[in-house]
Structure 1
Amino acid sequence: MATIKATAPAKVNLTLHVTGQRDDGYHLLDSLVVFAGVCDQLTATIAPELRINVSGPFSPGVPADDSNLMMRAALALQQARGVELGAALTLEKHLPHAAGIGSGSSDAALTLAMLADLWKVAPLATDAPEVVALGADVPVCLNAPAPTRMTGIGGTLSSVTRLPDCAMVLVRPPVDVPTADVFKGLASRDGSAMDDLPEGLDYEGFAAWLAAQRNDLQNAAQCIAPPISEALEALQSQAVVSYAGMSGSGATCFGLVKDMATARQVARRLQVAHMNWWVAPAALLQPA
């Protein structure tokens, strides 16, 4: 039986500007999305029908039926391409879910790519209705590992200049932040757009550019979940962290550092000081 194994990386919103709100309630965003070298592990094997098995440290709470986003993605591709084959999917969950790092969306996007290869059919485009219906983060996750500017309600994607080689420390305190509640707490829904990313930035220039941008959801999330403030303060207290922010609607925060050796050092310090936090050093991924 043909089997494909691959990794679905964490999605990190380094910026998130809320620039408006449509009449239907959807918010307009402007965000620099990158992918981190910490991942879920996925496999797909040809089978008579679609099924999924979920395991791993963050498997509790992840559905193993048709409501799973991977299964929804598989069904969408199957129906769109008229596929009669099925697949046995496995998800080894190493990324926290509902954490602002799009792990479910990344899993779904990778499922679409894996099954297109396995079933020998044309992949779905990022703007295909079937992809958009899976959620606002799935289109950008199909672009992984390329850093991408995401605008509109999430479906308008544009490439950005190559970023300097660097790394991150991802930190998630043990708190849930309902996305809908965060958006309700927004102080403003018509902020300015993200600044264009200049070409040829070195690490220091990139950190300075990032510090001039925003995550408009951060203040609202901190009010709902004060441990986010503690995580940001812990990252900011490390002299080697050039910039710290919150990803998406939280609660995962990131600290930007020069390289993986530095990321591992910072991660070890934070893991010792905060044993109940999820802490992960990760490279900022880019295409070769």
Structure 2
Amino acid sequence: MTSALLSPPSVTARVPAKVNLELLVGPVRDDGFHTLSTVYQAVSLHDTVTVRPAQEWEVAVHGTFADGVPTTADNLALRAATLLAEAADVVEPVHVTIRKEIPVAGGMAGGSADAAATLVACEHLWDLGMTKDALCDIAAELGSDVPFLLHGGTAVGSGRGEIVTPALARGTFHWVFVPSTGTGLSTPAVYGEHDRIVARRGLTPDPDPTPNPAMMSALLGGDAEALAAVLHNDLQDAAVALRPDLGDLIDAGMGFGALGGLVSGSGPTVAFLCADAEAAIDLAVSFTASGTATNVVRATGPVAGAQVVPTSRA
């Protein structure tokens, strides 16, 4: 058992959002999840999570997207802390403070990101000496995207997304994200709509989806135009069916000069790939100046996964 008396007073971890460059959805598994093949990229839109010893397990949330994040026991970051404590035989509770800058229920893994950051911060606070692989085993119990947010970079996700294999990617890719200003999209609702669309169209999902070789080649070459041509999300039709405005937003972004655009994960955030930093600035300005979108975020990828930072930077 680890004593908090030997731990630093607080630890802060910084964690990125993710975008799915490709999301291929297979059939429903026996456990209720879908078989997936996805290509993740971590992008420079970050949450920070600070943990410190406390008398009770607690969580507080601040920041741009704090509204709607639970501060009860079902908060995913708090669940991450208690699960790690149980696995490591730690009895001292922590207070978790989340600075929320990743959209909530936006398809960018905001909740999963906070869980990953909490695992990293608590592991450091309690001085557990755990490997990343060991943390990933716990992360997989929390959610399909959590293991990737521990790794960051660019990676292929398989299984239900929790089996992460690093992918080779060169250069920096420039993104513009338009988070939803309206109602978020429930991941189960989007998958349910996807299943209905597949059944209605008489399609048979690939039981063992694998990444598109053209995508892996574009990433290896650092070629934004080639990557834009193969961006794909099997859930996009479902997300647009539930939120038709997302289709209009994609059309607008392409009209403003984006190389490619797609719904991020289960949505409703829309991601646009741009040729370079200047093109990303121009696209963001086009969205805001036209009144098409008021909340626009520029980011780059790939970036590192969850990692401890000096507390003074929190």
User: TM-score, structure 2 length as denominator?
Assistant: 0.83
- Name the residue aligned to 2:268: 251
Which of 78, 81, 98 pairs up with 1:74? 81
Does residue 190 in structure 1 map to residue 205 in structure 2?
A: yes
Q: Distance in 2 between matches of 1:216 and 1:278?
A: 25
Give the Cα separation in 1 of the matches to 2:123 and 2:77. 13
Residue identity over aligned pairs, in percent, reads 29
SS class of match (1:16) = strand
* Greater helix proportion: 2
Q: Distance in 2 between matches of 1:237 and 1:17?
A: 26
Unaligned runs of 5+ in 1: none
Any idea what SS the aligned residue of 2:158 has? strand
Match of residue 109 from structure 1 = 116
Match of 1:269 in 2: 286
Q: Match of 1:136, SS?
A: coil
Match of 2:308 in 1: none
Question: In 2 relative to 1, CA 287–221 (structure 1 residues): closer, same or farther, beyond 3 Å?
Answer: closer
- The Cα RMSD (Å) is 2.2
Deviations 1:242-265 (A, max 9, x none): 111111111111111133333233
1:6 aligns with 2:23: no
**Per-residue CA distance 1:61-106 (angstroms, 9 max, x = gap):** 1111211111000000111001122322211112221110000000
Greater relative contact order (CA < 8 Å, ≥ 6 in sequence): 2
Q: What number of residue pairs does the alignment pair up? A: 283
1:246 maps to amino acid: V
Match of 1:29 among 36, 39, 42: 36
SS in 1 for 2:237: helix
Cα separation, partners in 2 of 1:287 and 1:109, compared to 1, 3 Å:
closer
Check the 8 A contact 1:34/1:147 in 2, yes or no: yes
Counterpart CA distance in 1 for 2:205 and 2:87 is 37
SS in 1 for 2:298: strand
AA of the residue aligned to 1:104: G
Q: What SS class does the counterpart of residue 101 from structure 1 fall into?
A: coil
Quote how far apart the aligned CAs of 1:175 are.
3.3
Structure 1 counterpart of 2:226: 208
Instruction: State the TM-score, normalized to the length of structure 1.
Output: 0.90
Q: Is the 8 A contact 1:7 1:39 kept in 2?
A: yes
What residue identity is the alignment partner of 2:178? V
Please say if residues 126 and 155 of structure 1, whose CA atoms lie closer than 8 Å, have aligned partners that are also in contact: no
Structure 1 stretches of 4+ with a deviation exceeding 6 A read: none
Q: Is the 8 A contact 2:104 2:184 kept in 1?
A: no
Instruction: Letter of the 2:233 partner, please give it.
Output: N
Instruction: Please give the secondary structure, in 2, of the residue aligned with 1:75.
Output: helix
Q: 2:240 aligns with which of 222, 226, 229?
A: 222
